[in-house]
A = this chain, B = another copy of it.
Amino acid sequence: MAEIEVGRNILEANQSMADKFRRQFAAQGVKVLNLISSPGAGKTSVLEQTLKRLSGRLSCAVIEGDIQTDEDAQRVAACGVPAVQIQTQGACHLDGPMISEALEALDLEGLDLLIIENVGNLVCPVDFDLGEDMKVAVLSVTEGDDKPSKYPALFRAAGVLLVNKIDLLPYIDCDLERIHNTCHTLNPQQKVFDISCRTGEGLKDWVSWLENWVRS
């Protein structure tokens, strides 16, 4: 019971920080995505490919959440985009205080799109609102077609699902239709893009949809 009570207090405190961020983002006219997936589903590759294609079209910045290392922030910075690294030092998700610290190091002025790359974890990040306009789930086909039914919370909450690594479909046992059907049942409004960051397949559609969404 104590655990549940404290958990509730933590989530409530997080929520009021998230609400504050959301007002701040709206006031500055910046749209915010919270990118969530398992470790290794391809969040950073999605970021690289997306930022490259948005270059010169939208002004973007990134907050990188990792337990350790700043490799991802370096990969993003190589795309010419401001990137702030949060090292969570063992914590399994980003939360309000971490975002608050990152925002101190980030100039929102003139920004169109801020993408927050969460820690690789299909479970815990879903519970912590970061003030984003939308959660984007990345699922790689190599994880298996049973993942949306086994970890439904993210796939229910995400406004967009990027099904990544579809170039590997010929070499694995994964029923893409099952992923689509389960996710449609969990969230019929969800926008789904099948993509490959390796071959580029599907990225044009995703990025053009994203650009329209940011401008809307």
In the complex, per-residue mask of A128-146: 1 if CB is within 8 Å of any chain B CB, else 0: 0000000000001011101
Size of A's binding interface in residues, CB under 8 A: 40
A residues 171-188 with Cβ under 8 Å of B?
171-173
Q: How far is the CA of A2 from the CA of B10 in the complex (A)?
A: 10
- Chain B residue with the shortest CB-CB distance to A127: B90
Q: How far is the CA of A6 from the CA of B9 in the complex (A)?
A: 12
Q: How far is the CA of A10 from the CA of B124 in the complex (A)?
A: 17
Inter-subunit contact B120/A122 (CB<8 Å): yes
Inter-subunit contact A150/B120 (CB<8 Å): yes
In the complex, per-residue mask of A40-73: 1 if CB is within 8 Å of any chain B CB, else 0: 1100000000000000000000000011110100
Q: What are the residues of chain B within 8 A of A121 when measuring CB–CB?
A: 92, 121-124
Q: What are the residues of chain B within 8 A of A9 when measuring CB–CB?
A: 2
Q: What are the residues of chain B within 8 A of A6 when measuring CB–CB?
A: 2-3, 6
Q: How far is the CA of A187 from the CA of B186 in the complex (A)?
A: 41
Q: What are the residues of chain B within 8 A of A123 when measuring CB–CB?
A: 67, 90, 92, 119, 121, 124
Q: How far is the CA of A39 from the CA of B92 in the complex (A)?
A: 14
Q: How far is the CA of A69 from the CA of B149 in the complex (A)?
A: 7
Q: What are the residues of chain B within 8 A of A92 when measuring CB–CB?
A: 92, 121, 123-124
Is A152 in the interface zone, CB < 8 Å from B?
A: yes
Is A168 in the interface zone, CB < 8 Å from B?
A: yes
Given contacts A68-B151, A92-B92, A142-B165, 10 further A-B contacts (CB under 8 A): A40-B147, A41-B143, A66-B150, A67-B123, A67-B151, A92-B121, A121-B124, A123-B124, A167-B171, A172-B198
